[in-house]
Amino acid sequence: MRHLRSGKKLSRPTNQRVALYRSLVGALFLHDRITTTEAKAKAIRATAEKLITLARQPSVHHRRIAFSDLPDKHAIERLFTDIGPRMKGRPGGYTRIVKLGPRMGDAAPMAIIELVE
Tens digit of pLDDT per residue, the chain (117 long)?
Answer: 989 888 889 999 999 999 999 999 999 999 999 999 999 999 999 999 999 999 999 999 999 999 999 999 999 999 999 999 999 999 999 999 999 999 999 999 999 999 998
User: Does residue 8 form part of some domain?
Assistant: no
User: Does residue 5 form part of some domain?
Assistant: no
- SS3 letters for the chain? CCCCCCCCCCCCCHHHHHHHHHHHHHHHHHHCEEEEEHHHHHHHHHHHHHHHHHHCCCCHHHHHHHHHHCCCHHHHHHHHHHHHHHCCCCCCCCEEEEEEEECCCCCCEEEEEEECC
Give the CATH number for residue 48: 3.90.1030.10
User: Does residue 9 form part of some domain?
Assistant: no
Phi and psi based region of residue 75 (left: phi greater than 0; alpha: psi -120 to 50; beta: remaining) = alpha
Report the pLDDT value the prediction gives residue 74, as an integer from 0 to 100: 97
User: Does residue 2 form part of some domain?
Assistant: no
User: Does residue 76 form part of some domain?
Assistant: yes
Given a contact cutoff of 8 angstroms between Cβ atoms, the answer to whether 84 and 58 are in contact is: yes
Report the pLDDT value the prediction gives residue 71, as an integer from 0 to 100: 93
Q: How many domains does the chain have?
A: 1
Report the pLDDT value the prediction gives residue 6, as an integer from 0 to 100: 84
User: Does residue 54 form part of some domain?
Assistant: yes
User: Does residue 43 form part of some domain?
Assistant: yes
User: Does residue 3 form part of some domain?
Assistant: no
Range of the domain at 40: 14-115
Report the pLDDT value the prediction gives residue 7, as an integer from 0 to 100: 85
